[in-house]
Amino acid sequence: MAKRKTKYVCQDCGYESAKWMGKCPGCGSWNTLVEEWEASSVNTRHTMGGGAKPASKPESITSVETKKEPRITTSMREFNRVLGGGVVPGSLVLIGGDPGIGKSTLLLQVSSQLADKQLPVLYISGEESMRQTKLRADRLDVTSDLLYVLSETNLFDIVSQIEQIKPAFVVIDSIQTVYREEVTSAPGSVSQVRESTNELMKTAKSHGIPIFIVGHVTKEGTIAGPRMLEHMVDAVLYFEGERHHTYRILRSVKNRFGSTHEMGIFEMKEEGLREVMNPSEIFLEERPQGAAGSTVVASMEGTRPVLVEIQALISPTSFGNPRRMATGFDTNRVPLLMAVLEKRVGLLLQNQDAYIKVAGGVKLDEPAIDLAVAVSIASSFRNKPTRPEDIFIGEVGLTGEIRHVSRIEQRVQEAAKLGFERVFCPKKNLEGWTPPSSIKAIGVSTVKEALEEGLMD
């Protein structure tokens, strides 16, 4: 009898080695190589010889027939927005997030809404029993007869139930609990997650059934398991939010059927998640009036403009090296903007600690918020507030110039809708359009010019 071979597989990146090593050569992680049995059986469907499936032949791209399939829309417009307009039939979507953030609640509510539209839905939970799922359904007021629940972790049984029921929507909660009998490693390992996801992908594509799988995240905030898991699926969504805040953000980081910059905002209530249709009002409702270091910026999240407050606190340092800290904003851009203010405007900031925060727990990463951050820093340093009805938009260059930003019309219209009276934007952005009559657009060319006009005496 042949001796079964073992191999060591990294649980973070999937690197395989014949012997154990403390540090993975693939990703550099420590103590992540775990011993697994090599598969001894060979799948005869993929071997050469009789009975093999004939290979498909290449075709000219102009002769390939296509048909536009309608998307499955839910009652949550925020959820539809992040997916690019609704659920695509036959798609495989991965949703990740911290434990307890509301992933299962969101998918159960979506399943209920689709079932209310007379679409059969199969909700498979590997972490909870059917009674536990029913208790959560009662709390969320889910009462549809077309919503089927199943507590199963065996991949063969899961695929069999999908093929038998033929639902219009499937949820797998979570992929780390699903196992395939042919793979000898434990559930949640790299091999199990990879093989299970691959089989679910085949099921989704062959039957045209959209499948949503829930994935746990590591302490670094990434999806647990190999990175190839994100390459296999059609869309990757992250459900973010602070545990001590009620607001949750659904963000798309990969989407083959839509934009990857969309963001949906929800509020966690006792009866479930409620979508926030106007997030700008939420982020600005507690903004202090007349406080130095506070500005407002119009940031684009996909196709939606969102008005967010940026706060800065500048204070003399007590250490040899001043601190530069930022929350919700790239920390590396803080010393860059402070160097521009010191060199081009003349502010002595080299002995000052700087603390930047984007209020509301939002993460902003576009360059159009540079001007608002720079004005906040100067406002706090000079202890001069900005006008409550002003808003700042623009990218700051190293020479102190204010550079052109995209979609200025949508940003200004959102500011005018919320009652702002003046908007500071790049001078080149004023060409080719007319701002609303209720707001005055002021074009600035340099940071110094924006500070002279924007800070109150």
In tens, the pLDDT along 92-134 reads 999 988 888 899 999 999 999 999 999 999 999 998 999 999 9
| pLDDT given at position 49 | 41
Distance CA 3, CA 239 (A): 45
Domain ranges of the chain: 6-38, 77-277, 282-454
Alpha helices in 84-165 (DSSP H): 103-116, 130-139, 155-165
Confidence category of residue 362, pLDDT binned at 50, 70, 90: confident
| Paired tokens of 123 | 């909700």
- Which of the residue ranges 2-6, 49-53, 116-120, 250-254 would you say has the lowest mean pLDDT? 49-53
Taking alpha carbons only, the member of 69, 64, 8 closest to residue 37 is 8
- CATH class of this structure's domain 282-454: alpha beta
Q: Is 101 annotated as a binding residue?
A: yes
Annotate 133-170 with b (16+ C-beta within 10 A) or e (fewer). Answer: beeebeebebebebbbbbebbebeebbebbeeeebbbb
Q: Is 100 annotated as a binding residue?
A: yes
Can you count the helices (H) and strands (E) in the chain? 11, 21
Q: Is 301 left (phi over 0), alpha (psi -120 to 50) or beta?
A: beta
| pLDDT given at position 139 | 92
Residue 197 φ/ψ, nearest 5 degrees? -65, -40
CA dihedral for 329, 334, 336, 340, sign (positive or negative): positive
CA dihedral for 357, 358, 362, 367, sign (positive or negative): negative
| Paired tokens of 246 | 């009620």
| pLDDT given at position 411 | 94
Q: Does domain 77-277 have CATH number 3.40.50.10860?
A: no
Taking alpha carbons only, the member of 160, 171, 57 closest to residue 107 is 171
Alpha helices in 208-332 (DSSP H): 228-232, 279-284
Distance CA 9, CA 21 (A): 10
Alpha helices in 258-369 (DSSP H): 279-284, 333-340
In tens, the pLDDT along 209-261 reads 999 999 877 655 566 555 667 888 999 999 988 766 788 889 898 999 888 87
| pLDDT given at position 50 | 43
Question: How many CB atoms are located within 10 Å of the residue 112 CB?
Answer: 22
Could you tell me the pTM of the whole model? Answer: 0.77
Mean pLDDT across 11-28: 85
pLDDT exceeds cutoff 90 at 51? no
CB half-sphere exposure, 72, CA atoms < 13 A: 24
In tens, the pLDDT along 312-341 reads 999 999 888 899 999 999 999 999 999 999
| pLDDT given at position 46 | 43
CB half-sphere exposure, 75, CA atoms < 13 A: 14
Q: Is 172 annotated as a binding residue?
A: no
Arithmetic mean of pLDDT over the chain: 88
| pLDDT given at position 42 | 41
Percent of the chain, pLDDT > 70? 92
Please report, for residues 193, 304, 334, 366, the alpha-carbon distance to residue 413 in angstroms, rounded to integers and kept in the order given.
46, 11, 28, 19
389, exposed or middle or buried, with CB in 10 Å at 0-12, 13-18, 19+? middle
Who's near 353: CB < 8 A, 6+ residues apart?
314, 315, 316, 317, 322, 323, 324
Please report where in the chains the tokens 């959820």 appear, as a residue.
79
In tens, the pLDDT along 381-430 reads 999 999 999 999 999 999 999 999 999 999 999 999 999 999 999 999 99
Residue 227 φ/ψ, nearest 5 degrees? -65, -25
In tens, the pLDDT along 308-320 reads 999 999 999 988 8
pLDDT exceeds cutoff 70 at 307? yes
| pLDDT given at position 55 | 65
CA 38 to chain centre: 35
Taking alpha carbons only, the member of 241, 184, 247, 198 closest to residue 217 is 241
| pLDDT given at position 454 | 92
Instruction: Starting at the earlier edge strand, list the strands of the sheet with 440-444.
Output: 390-392, 422-426, 440-444
Q: Is 102 annotated as a binding residue?
A: yes
Equal CATH topology for 77-277 and 282-454: no
Mean pLDDT across 248-276: 88
The one-letter code for the residue type at 299 is S
Confidence category of residue 375, pLDDT binned at 50, 70, 90: very high
